Chain A
Amino acid sequence: MMDKALIKVGIVSCSGEELPEGTLSRLACRKVLDELKPGTTVTICLPLFIAGGEEERNFTAKFPTITVDGCKKRCAQRSTEALSGKPAKSIVITEIMHEKQITPPVRRRNLTEQDKIVVQVVAEELAKAVDDVLEGGE
Chain B
Amino acid sequence: MSEFLETTHDKFVFRVKTGLYYSRDDFWVEIQGDQAVMGVSDFLQKVRGDVAFLETMPMATEIRPGEEAGTIETIKATYGIIAPVTGKIIEINPEMESSPYLINQDPYGTGWIYRIQLHDRVRDQAELLNAESYMALMQEKIVQEMGNK
Contact = CB atoms under 8 A, between A and B. Distances in A.
Q: Do chains A and B touch in the complex (CB under 8 A)?
A: yes
- Kindly state the interface size class of chain B when it binds its partner: under 10
Which one of B8, B11, B13 has the highest number of Cβ atoms from chain A below 10 Å of its Cβ? Answer: B11
A55 B149 CA distance: 15
A8 B148 CA distance: 11
A26 to B, nearest CB: 18
Interface string A81-121: 00000000000000000000000000000000000000000
Question: What is the predominant secondary structure among interface residues of chain A facing chain B?
Answer: mixed
- Kindly state the interface size class of chain A when it binds its partner: 10 to 19
A20 interface: no
B3 interface: no
B101 to A, nearest CB: 15
Nearest to B148: A39
A55 B12 contact: yes
A38 interface: yes
Contacts of A55: 11-13
Nearest to A39: B148
20 contacts: A8-B10, A10-B11, A38-B148, A38-B149, A39-B148, A39-B149, A42-B10, A42-B11, A43-B11, A44-B11, A54-B13, A55-B11, A55-B12, A55-B13, A56-B11, A58-B8, A58-B11, A58-B13, A59-B10, A59-B11
